[in-house]
Structure 1
Amino acid sequence: MLTFVGLLIILTIVVLLIWGKASPIVAMVMVPLIGALIAGFGINDIQTFFEEGIIKVLPVATMFIFAILFFGILQDTGFFEPVIKALIKLTKGNVVTVAMGTALIGVIAHLDGAGATTFLLTVPALLPLYKKLHMSPYLLLLLIGTSAGLTNMIPWAGPTGRAASVLNMDPSELWVPLIPIQLIGVVLVLGMAFILGKREEKRIRVKIAANEIAAVQLEGADWDRAIQSISETGDASLKRYHLIWVNLVLFLCVVVLLVLNVMPASFMFMIGLSLALLINFPNVNLQMERIKAHAPSALMMAAVIFSAGSFLGILEGTGMLKAIAVDSIHILPAFLLPFLHIIVGMLGVPLDMLTSTDAYYYALLPIVESITSEVGVPGTSAAYAMMIGNIIGTFVSPLAPAVWLAVGLAGVDMGKHIRYSFFWMWGFSIILLFVAMLIGII
C-alpha cells in the first residue's frame, strides 16, 4: 500500500510539473497531503511529518534567500563585466579563439547562478561578433549553455541546493568535492570549444570559397559594440566600477570561507549581503530598493525549497520512500542496484528533456538514493552521479524558461537548438560522469 501510494504521489507530481498543470509549490504541497490521507495517516501525523521536513530544508532555503540577494547586488554593480569585456577583447576575431572565449565567458557569467542573467549578459554582447564572422548562433548557445552548466554546480545555484535538501546537507558541504570536476570540466569545455571552433572555421572557409559569403575582417567598431552591449545591461545608476576591487575581495572572502566551511553557508551569505549593501549602497532607502528588486527570485526559490521539505517530510515520515526502496530491491536485478545511480546519471540529459528540474531532484533522486543506499552506496555518491549527468542538460531543455530566453535573444529556433546541441551536451555529460568516477567523486 505504501509503495503504491508513494509511487502514485511521485508520478502525479512529475506529470503535473511536466505538463505545466500546477506550480511546483502546489504540486509538492497538495499531492503528498492527499496521498498521506489516502494511506490512512491522520492530520496530527501529517503535521509532524511536515515539521520534520521543514526543519531539514530550513538551512538550504535560508542560504538561497541570502545568496540570491548577495549575487544580485554584485550583478547590479557591474562586478562581472570587466572580466567578460577582457575575454571578448582576447578573442581577436579568430573563429577558434572566439569559440573558446565564449566558453570561458559562460563560466564567468554564470557565477551568480541565474540562467536568465547569464544569457542576458552574454548573448546580446557576443551575437553581433558571431554574425560578423558568419559563425552559427547555435554554436553560441551550445557553448554558453555547456559552460554555464559547469558553473551551475555552485551551492547557490538550483541543482546543488535541491540535492542538498534531499540529503539533508549543507549545500556548500555537498559542493566542495565537486570543485575538482568543475575545474576539469572547464578544461574539457575549452577542448570541445576548440574542436567545434575548428569545425566552424572549416564550414565558413567552404562557404567563402563557394562565394556564398564574403570574407570579413573585424574592425574596432565591432569590438566597441560588443563591449558597449555589456555595459548597457542593468541600470547604469547602480554601477559601481570604482568599487570593483573592494567587491572582488568581498567575493573571494565569501567563496573561500564557503570552501573552508568555516561557518554555515546561510550565515556567510547574510554577512556577505550586509557588507555588499554597506559598501555599494550606503543609502538605506537604496538598500531596501535593491533588496525588493531581487526579493521575488529569492522568495520563489525559498518557497519551492520549503514545499519540497513538506513533500520529502511526508514521504519519509510515512515510510513510503523506504517501502519503494525495499520493494524495488526485490524487483530489480541484484547486479543492477549498485550502479543504478550511474545509469540514471548517464541518462540525465535526456531525462531533463522529459522532467523539470524540480521533478528530477525531488521525485527521482529520493527514489534512487533510497534504493542504492540499501546496497551500501553513499547518498552523496548517488547525488553526484545524478547531478553531473544531468546538470549540463539544463540549458538544452525546453522545460527551462532561461533556454527560451536564450533562443529569443539569439533569434533562433528551439527545435534546431536542441538538434544542434543535444548530443554534444549529452556526450559531454557522460564523459564528465566517467571522469568523476575515475577521480573518486562517485
Structure 2
Amino acid sequence: MLSILGFLTIILFMFLVMTKRASAFTAIVISPIIFAFIGGFGSDLGPMMFAGIELVAPTAVLLLFAILYFGIMMDSGLFDPVSRAILKVAKGDPVKIVVGTAILALLVALDGDGTTSYMIICSAMLPIYRKIGINPLVLAAISVMALGTISGMTPWGGAATRGISVLGLDASEYFVPLIPMMVCGSFFIILLAYVMGRMERKRIGLAKIQEASVEIAAAVAEKEVTITWKIWFNFILTLALLVSLVIGIAPLPVLFIIGFVIALLVNNPKITDQQELIKVHGSNAIPVVMLVLGAGIFTGILSETKMVDHMASDFLTIVPESFSPFFTVIVAVISLPLSFLMSNDAFFFGALPVLAQSAAEYGIDPVEIARAGVIGQPLHSMGPTSAPLWVLLALVGKDLGEFQRYALGWVVLLSIALILFALLTGAISIAW
C-alpha cells in the first residue's frame, strides 16, 4: 500500500508539472501531502515536513548566497573574457559553441558542486547562446549530463560519498575502475553535443548564423575586454572559493556566505549599491530557495512514511531468481528511475543498502552495487529532488516541464550508454 501511494505521489507531481496545471513549488508540496492523508499519516505530517525542511536547510542557505555571489561576479564582468575567447574560436557556429559547452561543463563538474558548476557554465556561455539564438535548453541538458557523469560519480561528489559511506567501502577501490567508464561517458556527451549543435545549426539557418557571425566578429574586434583590478580580485576570490570547496575547509553554505560578504564589500562598497544588488539578485534567489524547501517537504514525507523503502523493496520482488547473475546490471537499470524520483539521501541511505544486501545473497561484491547505483546520477540531476537543477532552470529561464520534455531523451540515451560502458570496462560485471 505504501509503495502504491509513493508511486502515485510521483505520478501526480509529474502530471501537474509537465501539463502545467500547477507550478513546480505547488505540485512538489501538495502531491505528497494528499497521499500522506490518504495513507493515514495526517496527524504526523507536521514533524515529517519539518524533518525534510531540516534536511535541505543547508542547501537552501547555500543556494541563496551562491546566487547572490555569482550575481556579483556576472555584474563585474568576470566571465566576459571567457565568453569573448569562445566567440573568437567558434565564430558563431552553433556546433563549435555547443561542443565547447560540453568540454567546459565536463571540466567544471570536477569541482563536485552542482550549483557552482551551473553558475559558471551559464555565466560563460548563456550570453553567447542568446546572441546566436541557440536554444538555452541545449545548454541546460549538456550541463546536467556532465554534472551527473562527473560530479555524480567522483568520491568527492555528494552521491558517491553517500554510497561509499553507507556501504563502508574504500574510496579508491570504488573509484579507480569507474574512471574508464567516465572517460567514455565524457566522449559520448561531446558526441551528443555535436549532434545537438548540428540540429541547432539547421534550425537557426545558415543565413542567420552568417549574419550573427559577422556581428560577433565586429563586436569582438571593436570591444576589447578591459581586465580591471576588480576582475583580477574576483577571479582570485572565486578560485580560492572553489579550492576551499574541494579541500573542505568549511561547510559550503559558510564558504559562500563569507565569499559573498567579501565580494559585496569590494565590488559594492556603498550601502545603497549593496541594497540594490541584493534586491535585484534576491528576486532570482527566492524562487529557487522556495523550491528547495518544497523539495524538502516532498522528501521528508516520502522518507518518514517509509514510502521510499517500500518502493525500493517492491522493485526487488519483480526480479526473478533466475536473473541473479545479472543483478548488478539490474541495479544499474533500477537506479535510473529511482535516482530520478528520489533524493540522493533517500536512494543511497534507503534503497542502496537494501539492494546491496540482496546482491550479497548472490555473492556480488557491494562495491559493484555502489558503482551501479551512481549510474543513475545523470537522471537524478534532472529530477525534481535535485536542488542545483532549480538554479539552472532559473538561469536559463525555463520551467521544469519544458526542460524535462527536451532533455529526458538525451539523458536516458546517455544513461543506457553508461551502463554499456560500465560493462565493457569492467566497472560492473555479470556473474556468469
Sort the Cα spacing of 1:199 and 1:265 in 2 relative to 1 into closer, same or farther, 3 A. closer
Residue aligned with 1:262, SS: coil
Q: Which residue of 2 aligns with 1:397?
A: none
Distance in 2 between residues matched to 1:371 and 1:21, nearest whole Å: 31
Larger mean Cα displacement after TM superposition, 330-339 or 264-273: 330-339
Distance in 2 between residues matched to 1:346 and 1:113, nearest whole Å: 22
1:251 aligns with 2:218: no
Q: Which residue of 2 aligns with 1:374?
A: 354
Residue aligned with 1:374, SS: helix
Q: Aligned letter for 2:118?
A: G
1:244 Cα offset (Å) = 1.4
Distance in 2 between residues matched to 1:262 and 1:38, nearest whole Å: 45
Q: Which residue of 2 aligns with 1:149?
A: 144
Instruction: Give the TM-score normalised by structure 2.
Output: 0.66
Q: Report percent identity of matched pairs.
A: 26
1:57 Cα offset (Å) = 1.4
Equivalent residues of 1:392, 1:429 under 8 A apart? no
Q: Which residue of 2 aligns with 1:225?
A: 219
The correspondence of residues 362-441 of structure 1 with structure 2, limited to 5 A, is 362=342, 366=346, 370-376=350-356, 384-389=374-379, 391=381, 427-432=413-418, 438=425
Equivalent residues of 1:9, 1:35 under 8 A apart? yes
Distance in 2 between residues matched to 1:305 and 1:366, nearest whole Å: 15
CA RMSD of aligned residues (A): 5.3
Q: Aligned letter for 2:355?
A: V
Sort the Cα spacing of 1:16 and 1:404 in 2 relative to 1 into closer, same or farther, 3 A. same
1:261 Cα offset (Å) = 1.7
Q: Which residue of 2 aligns with 1:26?
A: 26
Residue aligned with 1:113, SS: helix
The correspondence of residues 27-106 of structure 1 with structure 2, limited to 5 A, is 27-43=27-43, 45-91=44-90, 100-101=99-100, 103-104=102-103
Cα deviations by residue, 1:290-311 (Å, 9 ceiling, x for unpaired): 1121213322222112112222
1:330 Cα offset (Å) = 2.3
Cα deviations by residue, 1:278-327 (Å, 9 ceiling, x for unpaired): 12111111112111212133222221121122222222222222223333
Distance in 1 between residues matched to 2:290 and 2:92, nearest whole Å: 45
Sort the Cα spacing of 1:198 and 1:291 in 2 relative to 1 into closer, same or farther, 3 A. closer
Q: Aligned letter for 1:225?
A: A
1:266 Cα offset (Å) = 0.8
- 2:272 corresponds, among 280, 285, 291, to 285
Equivalent residues of 1:119, 1:405 under 8 A apart? no
Unaligned runs of 5+ in 1: 128-136, 170-176, 204-211, 232-238, 349-358, 395-399, 407-413
1:64 Cα offset (Å) = 1.2
1:29 Cα offset (Å) = 2.3
Distance in 1 between residues matched to 2:37 and 2:80, nearest whole Å: 52
- 1:343 corresponds, among 333, 348, 357, to 333
Q: Which residue of 1 aligns with 2:172?
A: none
Residue aligned with 2:78, SS: coil
Distance in 2 between residues matched to 1:314 and 1:120, nearest whole Å: 36
- 1:122 corresponds, among 119, 124, 128, to 128
Sort the Cα spacing of 1:434 and 1:74 in 2 relative to 1 into closer, same or farther, 3 A. farther
Q: Aligned letter for 1:125?
A: K
Distance in 1 between residues matched to 2:28 and 2:99, nearest whole Å: 41
Distance in 2 between residues matched to 1:263 and 1:249, nearest whole Å: 18
Sort the Cα spacing of 1:285 and 1:18 in 2 relative to 1 into closer, same or farther, 3 A. same
Larger mean Cα displacement after TM superposition, 239-248 or 45-54: 239-248
